[in-house]
């Protein structure tokens, strides 16, 4: 990476993750084996979501600040609770649906 930076080449998100966060990840989770693919997929989803949200910002520092603010908001317990409520409210209630079908089919 030092040689890459010495050439003033841009660093990709993946290269940044490997350079700055990989060791912490390995220490925290005890390796990459079980988590590697999920970790990269999550990174792709997050990157896509943040690009969509921050696409109109051309200043790199402003983008980074905005992403940091979003991350901070997403980590709040109040926000997590609201997300769980929305997720549970939007789930289909298959038991109620099946019960409705049984009562209708019994009428035939």
Instruction: Say what the pLDDT of residue 2 is.
Output: 78
Secondary structure class of 26 (helix, strand, coil): helix
CB 74 within 8 A of CB 82: no
Secondary structure class of 9 (helix, strand, coil): coil
CB 67 within 8 A of CB 50: yes
Instruction: Say what the pLDDT of residue 96 is.
Output: 58
Instruction: Say what the pLDDT of residue 100 is.
Output: 58
| Per-residue confidence in pLDDT tens, the chain, 108 aa | 778 778 888 878 778 878 888 888 777 777 766 655 676 777 778 888 888 888 788 888 888 888 888 888 888 899 889 888 888 887 766 665 556 555 555 554
Q: What does the CA dihedral 6, 22, 37, 74 come to, rounded to 10 degrees?
A: -100
């Amino acid at each position: 990476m030092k040689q890459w930076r010495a050439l003033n080449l841009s660093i990709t998100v993946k290269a940044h993750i490997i350079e700055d966060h990989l060791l912490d990840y390995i220490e925290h989770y005890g390796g990459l084996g079980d988590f590697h693919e999920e970790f990269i997929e999550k990174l792709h989803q997050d990157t896509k979501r943040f690009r969509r949200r921050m696409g109109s910002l051309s200043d790199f520092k402003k983008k980074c600040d905005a992403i940091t603010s979003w991350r901070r908001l997403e980590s709040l317990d109040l926000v997590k609770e609201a997300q769980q409520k929305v997720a549970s409210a939007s789930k289909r209630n298959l038991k109620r649906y099946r019960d409705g079908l049984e009562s209708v089919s019994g009428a035939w």
